[in-house]
Structure 1
Amino acid sequence: MSSASYRTLLRTPGAALFFLTGAVGRIGIAMTSLGIVWLVHAKTGSYATAGLVTGGFALAEAMAGPQLARLMDRFGQSRVLVPALLAHGGAVTELLTVVTAGAPGWLMAASGVLAGATIPQLGALSAARWAALLRDGRAAALPTAFALESLANELAYLAGPALVSILGNSGYPAAGTVLAATLVVAGGLCFAGQRRTAPASASTSSSPSPSASASASASASASDDDAPLRGASHSLLRPRFAILAGMNLAVGCFFGAMQISVTAFAVEHGAASAAAALFTVSSCASLLAGWLYGLRHWRTPARIQLAMVASALAASCLPLLAAGSPVELGFELALTGLAIPPLLVLCTVLAESAVHRSVLTQAFVWLNSASAAGAAAAAAVAGWAVDSFGAHSGFAIAATAAGVMALLAVAGLRA
């Protein structure tokens, strides 16, 4: 077992360029929400106002993202991505201007909504490119490609918020937002410039060719014989995709509850500074699991793998309910962290095979939006639960979300 699988993928003509430029943009995306919090709080002194602006940004991103993806599926990534990126740059400039000017909170929130509505989901666009690039006889490599995407996301959400916090603590609260927008726009424009690897738009694609049929057969071996579903309908309203969307909603609930609960647990035990270390332990375990998962060609059908991984995650959440110290919690977070990357990779693999390729970008973005919606809802509920009953009640919410994932994954075996 070696990293040769990843090196082989990145040697595919055009792959390294779109992956690396997209990864740069994703660091900016990972920085944006926290950057807004630093920016607004530094000017207003109010976390409530900062939360209002950040909430408006997140809600707009979740709602507008699938609509941008729909346009990209129809007209092509580059034709839609370039104006969206320019609009995002303008929206962030407006946000910086109104915050610096001390505008009312509602105006700041409106600017945050504009910034969220124009930010593209570069991770979903990159995944769609892998699906198109590996279509001709190389579909069995898709799990490895999606594992690489998972690693890029994990690294982005490790490095991005840390960089924002360093800039904010150094006395430059606006610098995080400026740098985030610069990375998103610059990385996104370079990504859009890689036209050779962009998926064909619906307006230019033709009926499936024999080579596409061969690719579908190869994909079936990697994705449990789901590939023939592509040609049946261009709609996303399909049972298998609905199950995957529900699972991603539950994944978001798990993350949202864990973010609140881990922090509260550390505070309850008089070790507030340990929260960062606990999150780092979980992230490092996820990085390791994602790296190792992508190195192996798995013969077990993807749907069975998903049911097994989701069940393992649900089981690993049970010890959280009895965690007695930050050290004990760290070991338990490492266990849950090991299950997350394979689960996300498998959801992406199954989504790729469950929908028609002309709506693939939309499918990936809808999964992201479902996860974001779940995280926002669970964070609110977990916050109330933790205030009322303590940190373990938040872990109970996370464990319940993991249980729902396992039930949906098992249901997916029969869908």
Structure 2
Amino acid sequence: MANPYRALFELPGARSFVPASFVGRMAMSMLGIGIVLMVTGTHGGYALAGAVAATTQVAYAIASPMIARLIDRHGQRRVLVPLVSANAVAMTGLILCAELGAAAWTLFATGVLVGMTSPSMGALVRARWSHLLAPENRPPLGTAFAMESVLDELVFITGPPLATALATGVVPAGGLVAAGLFTLVGGLAFAVQTRTQPPASPGRRGGRTALAYPGVPGMALVFLSLGLVFGAVEVSAIAFADEQGSKGLSGLVLACFAAGSGVAGLWYGARTWVWPLARRFRLGLGLFALGLVPVTLVESLPVMMAVIFFAGLAISPTIIPAYGVLERLVPEGRLTEGLTWASTAVGLGVAGGASAAGAIIDSHGSGPAFAFALAAGIAGALMGLAVVARLKTVSRFDNDGKRELSS
């Protein structure tokens, strides 16, 4: 590991909470594909499977900001322990409804419960880094965010193939069983490490939501566009592999997408950047949209794996500065909620992208579904340009001493 990353693990507690957060995050890469594989295996049809996955993501997106406010107010441990315990119960209910062939509405009902109780581990661990690294020591925070993005991608490299192998080689619900266990074990291990968690802010009961701070709504729309791409690509990749007669390799296709992002994230975090944060953010969005163009033109599975790897190279260099911008837009007492809005927006986007792609695939195949992902990527790039142009007019983010966004 390069020196910038090694230095992060020298901080007290980092060697414990980082692995725990990694285990807790495994479910985020396995939930969507696990639901699609389970429902198509037990009930048939991508439209139903995509709709159930989308419903779960919408429930997660709606509940996450409210849970994040509770975490900011009461602390991570007090909220996370009952949350992941409830998630285990809800996941068990969803799996039983599918495996027993219950009516479709039961899948939606239990999917809602799963989504509402799914923790935003990425936001929680990034909030810990922001707490541990002093405001005057921000370059290491960028490295920490880069490392977390790489770990996110490692989750997406390992999670989908694991979920696919379990669902196609063991039982249709195998991927979701593993996802539920990862959430429970990782979430509890992360929650009990109270020494490194950000302090609770009980005095901030009620008041201004993080979404009300200048620039945050625009950033949420950018993350929404990214989520549309991720959701559409996830379902489209499964259908593309199925069309090629190799559905069992769909997880590997998604792993290639994540691997590209992970490689780029390691490179990004190890560099000392001279370019301003906003410029890196804009460039990343543009490259991300451009990289999706070849994905819409491929008709071979091996070529798709190579092309989608290169498309993924722009993910981390987009998301890392995006989180950096968002972290600077909200005060410390609203940090978990502010970062969670990114996860919320991505969740809504994944829901919309998965649902739209599922409907497109049932009618026209995977090719037009990938084209939908490209359109969402272009929309995100245009939105990012508009957001940065708007932030140029904001001289200060807030009166909490946050720095200006250099553009």
TM tier, smaller: 0.7 to 0.9
Deviations 1:58-103 (A, max 9, x none): 2221211111111111211111111112222232344445556654
Aligned counterpart, 1:210: none
Query: Which of 278, 301, 308 is the equivalent residue of 1:303?
Result: 278
**Aligned partners of 1:47 and 1:405: how far apart in 2?**
26
Structure-2 change in CA distance of 1:397 and 1:90 (3 Å): closer
**Aligned partners of 1:400 and 1:39: how far apart in 2?**
28
**Aligned partners of 2:105 and 2:362: how far apart in 1?**
28
Aligned counterpart, 2:339: 364
Which shifted more, 92-101 or 194-203?
92-101
RMSD between superposed Cα atoms in Å = 3.0
Q: CA deviation at 1:268?
A: 6.1
Aligned counterpart, 1:283: 258
| Residues 1:243 and 2:202 are matched in the alignment | no
Aligned counterpart, 1:223: none
Aligned counterpart, 1:135: 134
Q: CA deviation at 1:242?
A: 1.8
User: Structure 2 counterpart of 1:245, which letter?
Assistant: A
Aligned counterpart, 1:202: 201
Task: Assess if the C-alpha contact under 8 Å between 1:234 and 1:356 holds in 2.
Answer: no
**Aligned partners of 1:108 and 1:384: how far apart in 2?**
18
Which shifted more, 402-411 or 248-257?
402-411
**Aligned partners of 1:316 and 1:162: how far apart in 2?**
23
Task: Assess if the C-alpha contact under 8 Å between 1:274 and 1:326 holds in 2.
Answer: no
Once the two structures are aligned, what percentage of the paired residues are identical?
A: 35
**Aligned partners of 1:319 and 1:40: how far apart in 2?**
30
Task: Assess if the C-alpha contact under 8 Å between 1:303 and 1:412 holds in 2.
Answer: no
**Aligned partners of 2:281 and 2:43: how far apart in 1?**
46
Structure-2 change in CA distance of 1:70 and 1:264 (3 Å): same
**Aligned partners of 1:392 and 1:298: how far apart in 2?**
38
Aligned counterpart, 1:345: 320
Query: Where does 1:125-204 land on structure 2 (aligned, <5 Å)?
Result: 125-203=124-202
Which shifted more, 22-31 or 233-242?
233-242
Structure-2 change in CA distance of 1:276 and 1:411 (3 Å): same
Deviations 1:274-320 (A, max 9, x none): 75554343222211111111111212111111111112223333444
Aligned counterpart, 2:349: 374
Q: CA deviation at 1:144?
A: 1.0
Which shifted more, 3-12 or 87-96?
87-96
Query: Where does 1:10-409 land on structure 2 (aligned, <5 Å)?
Result: 10-37=9-36, 53-99=52-98, 103-203=102-202, 235-263=210-238, 275-323=250-298, 325-326=300-301, 328-385=303-360, 391-409=366-384
Q: Structure 1 unaligned runs (5+)?
A: 206-232
Structure-2 change in CA distance of 1:340 and 1:357 (3 Å): same
**Aligned partners of 1:391 and 1:175: how far apart in 2?**
25
- Taking structure 1 as the reference length, the TM-score comes to 0.82
**Aligned partners of 1:339 and 1:46: how far apart in 2?**
32
Aligned counterpart, 1:219: none
- Taking structure 2 as the reference length, the TM-score comes to 0.84
Aligned counterpart, 1:216: none
**Aligned partners of 2:359 and 2:174: how far apart in 1?**
33
**Aligned partners of 2:72 and 2:148: how far apart in 1?**
20
Q: Secondary structure at the match of 1:137?
A: helix
Task: Assess if the C-alpha contact under 8 Å between 1:236 and 1:359 holds in 2.
Answer: no
Q: Structure 2 unaligned runs (5+)?
A: 392-407
